[in-house]
Every structure is written in C-alpha cells, then in structure tokens.
Amino acid sequence: MIAFDANMVLYIIEIVIGGLLVGVGVHFVPVGGAPAAMAQATGVGTGTVQLAAGSGLTGLLSAGLMMGVTDNIALIVISGAVGAMIMVDATMIVGNWVYIYGVGVPPVSAKVDYDPITKEPQPPYISPGTVGHGIPTVSFVSGTIGGLLGGAGGSLIYYALMSINQNPGLSGFFAIGIFVVNAVIASYNIQGTIEGFHDPKFKRVPRAVQACLVASLVIGIFAVLITGGA
Amino acid sequence: MSVAAGGGESKIDKTKLMMYGLGGGVLGIYLTHVLNTITGSGYFSFLAGLGVIAAVVMGSDAVRRVCSYGIGTGVPSIGLMAMGMGLVAAWFGLSIGGVAGPIIGIAIAMGFGYFVGLLANRIIKMNIPVMEEVLMTLGGAGAIVLIGLSVVVSGEISYPLIISSVVDTGYIAIIFIAGSLAILHPFNANLGPDETQDRTLVHTISTGALAMFAAGLASLATIGAAGFLTVIIAVIIWIKTFMWYFQLVKRDSSGVVGTGLLPEGGL
C-alpha cells in the first residue's frame, strides 16, 4: 500500500535533479545522427537516445558496483559519472578512428570558425557539401562533460530508487525508464543533432530544463511510491 | 500533413486500432490471469501474449503517425520513451492495484504520455499537432506490452510473483528491449515515401510475435513446460505474418531486376 513519509520528498528531489542532469547532459554530447554516420556532419553517427542509453547504462553499472561496496552517495554518483564518461569517450575515440583512418576525413566543426579549445581554424577542413565531420577537440571535451552529467544523473536516480525499494533490478530499470524519458525530451529540444556546448542550439538548454523538471517531477512522484514487492 | 519521413494514407482508422489494442491487451492479460488461476496451470499465458500483439499494433500505428511529421531524432527514440513511461506507470499500477493493477498502470501511462506530449509541444515547441494523442497511445501501448509480457512470464497478475519471476531473474531486460523493438522497429524498417499502413502493421504483428516468443522462452523457466504453448503459438504467428509481410513487400516493390556486375571500366 501507499505509505508516504518525509524522506520521499528527498527522494523525489534527487530524482528530479537526476532527471535535470540527464536532460542537460544530452546537450553536451556530440550527436550527429544519420548524416554523421555518413561522415557528412560533426558528431557521433547515431541518435541521442542510443548514446545516452549506452553511457547511462554503463554509468548505472559502475554506480551499482560502487553501491555494493559503500552507501556513500557522493562515491556512488562519482562512480556512475566516471563510468558514463569512459563509455562516451570510448565511443567518440573509436568513432574518430573510423572517421580519420577509415573514411579519411579530418575531425572538424562546422558551427565555429575556430575551435574554442585548440584555436585551430575550422572552415578549410570542411569537405564541400558537408557540415563538418568526425569529433573535433571541442566536441570531444563537450561529450565528456555530457557523460559526466548523464552518468551522475542516472546514478542519482538509481540511488534514490534503491533507497526506497532495495531491489537492484527494479531500481535499475526505473532509472533507465526515467533516464530515457529525459534523454528523449532533451533530444527533441536539439532536434536530434548537436555538436556540443559551442553549438548555437545549446542556447535552448533552458527549455529542456523546464520540460525535464516537470516530467521528472511527475514520474518521480509515481516512482517513489512503488514498493520493492514481497 | 507534412510528410517528412514518409508515411502513406491510413486505410485502418486510428480509433479502431486503439480500441482493438487497448481492448485486446487488457482482455488478454485478464483472461490469462483468470483462466490460469481457475485451472491452476500456466497453459493460458499465451493469451496475454496475443494481447501484447494487439497493443503493439496500436503502438506501431501511433509511431507511424507521429514520425511522418519528422521528429528529427529517429524513430527509436519515441518507442523507447513509450517504454520508459510505460515501465514506471505499469509497475506503479501493479504495486498498488493488485488485480486492478494493469488498468491503473495503463491509465497512468496514458496520462504520462499526454503530459509529456504537452511538454513537448508547449515548452520544447515541437508543434506537432498529434503529439499529445500519439504519446498517450504509446504510453498505454508500452504499459500493456510490459504488463502483458510480464504476465506471460509470471502466469498471473501478482506483484510479488512478477517481482520474483520477472525482475529478480533479469527477464525484465528482455521484455523491455524486445517490447520496445516490437513497437519501434516496424516503422523504422518500412519508412519512406512508399510506406503503406498494411505492410507496416503486418510487420508489427510479426515483431510482436517475436517479443511473445522471447517472453515464452523466459516463461519456460518460471511456469515450466506450459510455456511451450506460448512459444509454439508465437512461432506460428511469426511464420504466417512474416510470409504475409513478404508478399506485401513484393506487392509494394516496383520490381527487382538482376543487372549483373558493372562492365570493366564502366564507371
């Protein structure tokens, strides 16, 4: 039956913060979609949800691993964040190998004239008819930040749910469910593709923050009421 | 209607599909529960699987309607979101509602869907007129698929039993991903300017049968040999519908001609 106590408010807040981190994190990950898969746009050549789910699940795994050792929330969240960062970085570096050595294109951004981090000029390296290709330094750094936020958010949701129902399977899948909803809302906000924090689309973050806040709040209220069975 | 990702005329009305999907899904789940409890066996688990196929068809048609507006993020995103909303709502329903759980879960999932659709249109400003209605349908379909496949595995609507036989065993992972693929894959595979509703939906029945097959295999470990009935029925449905689908593919393709290899220096 439904039992409500003061701790639940705390858990709901944790879920909402987690959802917000996921929603904002998606904006940092360089997602190129189908054009990037053909090396005609900057970013990793797949959809937001696949990237977010891949890094988020790795984050959950590493958070779950840490949870077996300690129940210190900071360590668990950091562990999840690092796991997701490693996953996103591995995806981006292998993607870059394919773009550089397989397709034969230099990683380049089409949204800025100079890479904000390396200060390298970008336009001379863009193949005619494309909008950039590969994952340039700025997008790589941005993607790592995205992994950090997404992983931290996912593990925060997982931690909150674990505190309620004590069932790793259930918490893990609810965390994935809440994660996916926020990631998809955020990816609608960027219309499927973004290069990273230097992309003009990044300015739309406030809208995703509002939408993810409300969505996580509503789903979080229901999620904390679910018991672990038995 | 602006046609971005393709999507032809609808021959079958959406309200009819929703009626069959919701009705068939709920009926399948409850028939399984009642008949399995009365007979004390697991032989009727396949009925929940059939209900899932009905719900998957409803969901796939909704995916088809919204994706023809060009949502920009690829078809899989919306199918996964449906399952994400459906998961939390379905388990909430099962957790508080007992036997009435599935209906509560489906209703809440549809509520979530409508709400997220509102957010997408009002805050994100996607301006897709069918967004609320489609996400509502998809949330409901996601919840039915999750509850239905869980009931196939557990044999009856009982929260502790579903937790122990579906969640703790890890079968929830198979159910989650096979269920979402059943909803999102057909339109993803058939989209394009020549997409036709009947081809996509027949394909959906076959992917739904595959999800049922996966749940049937999982049920062999939980309800025992009775699960074979689910597996066999799913295989029969898959073979039948896949052949039907192949006929429709041949009907819709403009022609396949062998041209041989390019001649030397032909480029």
Size of interface A-B (CB pairs under 8 A): 127
Residue A126 located in a structural domain: yes
- What residue numbers bound the domain in which A31 lies? 10-224
A-interface mutation test, from B92, B115, B191, most A Cβ less than 10 A away:
B92
**Mean pLDDT, chain A, as a whole number?**
87
**Is B66's Cβ below 8 Å from some Cβ in A?**
no
Provide the pLDDT for residue A2: 57
Residue A52's pLDDT is what? 77
A53, A169, A226: residue with CB nearest B170: A169
From residue A162, give the alpha-carbon distance in Å to each of A60, A150, A171, B121.
12, 18, 6, 33
Q: Does B131 touch chain A (CB under 8 A)?
A: no
* Cβ atoms within 10 Å, residue B250: 10
When pLDDT is cut at 50, 70 and 90, the band that residue B261 belongs to is confident
A 11-70: CB under 8 A from B = 33-34, 47-50, 53
Q: Do A180 and B84 count as a contact with CB atoms less than 8 A apart?
A: yes
Question: Is B266 inside any structural domain?
Answer: no
Q: In the beta sheet, which residues pair with residue A41?
A: A131
Determine contact, residues B120/B135, Cβ cutoff 8 Å. Answer: yes
- Can you give the pTM of this predicted structure? 0.88
A153-182 confidence digits (pLDDT tens):
999 999 988 888 888 888 888 888 888 888
What was the pLDDT predicted at A79?
A: 92
Whether the CB-CB separation of B152 and B32 falls below 8 Å is answered with yes
Three-state secondary structure readout of A61-105: HHHHHHHCCCCCHHHHHHHHHHHHHHHHHHHHHHHHHHHHHHHCC
pLDDT at A1 over 70: no
Helices (H), B124-226: 131-154, 159-162, 171-190, 197-222
Q: Residue A98 and residue B125: Cα distance in Å, rounded?
A: 36
Is the sign of the CA dihedral B257, B261, B266, B267 positive or negative?
Answer: positive
CA distances (Å), origin B38, targets B44, B153, B155, B220: 10, 18, 12, 20
Question: CB distance from A165 to chain B under 8 Å?
Answer: no
Residue whose entry in the numeric block shows the structure tokens 């890479």: A115
Which positions in chain B touch A180 (Cβ < 8 Å)?
Answer: 80-81, 83-84
Chain B partners within 8 Å of A226 (Cβ) = 88, 91-92, 95-96
Mean pLDDT of B27-56: 91
Burial of A50 (0-12, 13-18, 19+ CB in 10 A): middle
Decide if B9 is inside a domain. no
Residue A183 falls inside a structural domain: yes
Q: Does B99 touch chain A (CB under 8 A)?
A: no
Q: What is the pLDDT of residue A112?
A: 86
Tokens of B43: 């032989």
* Residues of chain A with C-beta less than 8 angstroms from the C-beta of B87: 173-174, 176-177
Q: Assess if residue A230 is contained within a domain.
A: no
B139-167 pLDDT, tens digit each: 999 999 999 999 999 888 888 888 888 98
Domain that holds residue B172: 14-250
pLDDT at B203: 93
Mean pLDDT of A178-194: 86
- Region A214-219: mean pLDDT is 90
Look-up: residue for tokens 């959809």? A47
Q: Which residue of A has its CA nearest to B109?
A: A219
pLDDT on residue B7: 54
How far, in Å, CA of A227 to CA of A219, rounded?
15
pLDDT band at A114 (very low <50, low <70, confident <90, very high): confident
Which tens digit of pLDDT belongs to each residue from B204-246? Answer: 999 999 999 999 999 998 888 888 999 999 999 999 999 999 9
Q: What is the pLDDT of residue A4?
A: 63
Q: Which of B119, B132, B175 is best to mutate for the A interface (most A CBs within 10 A)? A: B119
| Residue A3 pLDDT exceeds 70 | no
- Helix H, strand E, coil C: the string for chain A is CCCCCHHHHHHHHHHHHHHHHHHHHHHHCCECHHHHHCCCECCECCCHHHHHHHHHHHHHHHHHHHHCCCCCHHHHHHHHHHHHHHHHHHHHHHHHHHHHHHHCCCCECCCCCECCCCCCECHHHCCCCCECECCCHHHHHHHHHHHHHHHHHHHHHHHHHHHHHCCHHHHHHHHHHHHHHHHHHHHHHCCCCECCCCCHHHHHHHHHHHHHHHHHHHHHHHHHCCCCCC
Determine, for residues B172 and A185 on separate chains, whether the beta-carbon distance falls below 8 Å.
no
- Set of chain B residues whose Cβ sits within 8 Å of the Cβ of A177: 83-85, 87-88
- Contact call for residues B107 and B223 (beta carbons, < 8 A): no
Check pLDDT > 80 for residue B44: yes
- pLDDT of B2 above 50: no
User: Is residue B6 helix, strand or coil?
Assistant: strand
Split into its structural domains, chain B has a count of: 1
pLDDT tens for A36-95 read 888 888 888 888 878 877 888 888 889 888 988 888 889 999 999 999 999 999 999 999
Say which residues have a Cβ less than 8 Å from residue A85's Cβ, sequence separation at least 6.
A55, A144, A147, A148, A151
Question: Cα A166–A169–A173 angle (5° rounding)?
Answer: 110
- The answer to whether residue B124 scores a pLDDT higher than 60 is yes
pLDDT of B27 higher than 90: yes
- Chain B contact for A216 (CB, 8 A cutoff): no
List the one residue out of B148, B145, B170 whose CA is nearest residue B222: B170
Residues in B closer than 8 angstroms to A208, CB to CB, are 124
pLDDT of B243: 94
**B177 token code pair:** 């991903």
Number of domains, chain A? 1
In a domain, A184, yes or no: yes
Mean pLDDT, to the nearest integer, of B117-135? 87
Residues of A in contact with B172 (CB under 8 A): 169, 173
Per-residue pLDDT for B5 more than 70? no
Tell me the pLDDT tens digit for each residue of B188-203: 888 887 888 899 999 9
| Predicted complex ipTM exceeds 0.90 | no
Assess A229–B contact: CB distance below 8 Å, yes or no: yes
Q: Do A184 and B84 touch (CB under 8 A)?
A: yes
Note whether residue B35 is domain-resident. Answer: yes
- In chain A, residues 71-130 whose CB comes closer than 8 Å to chain B: none
B 7-46 residues with CB < 8 A to A: none
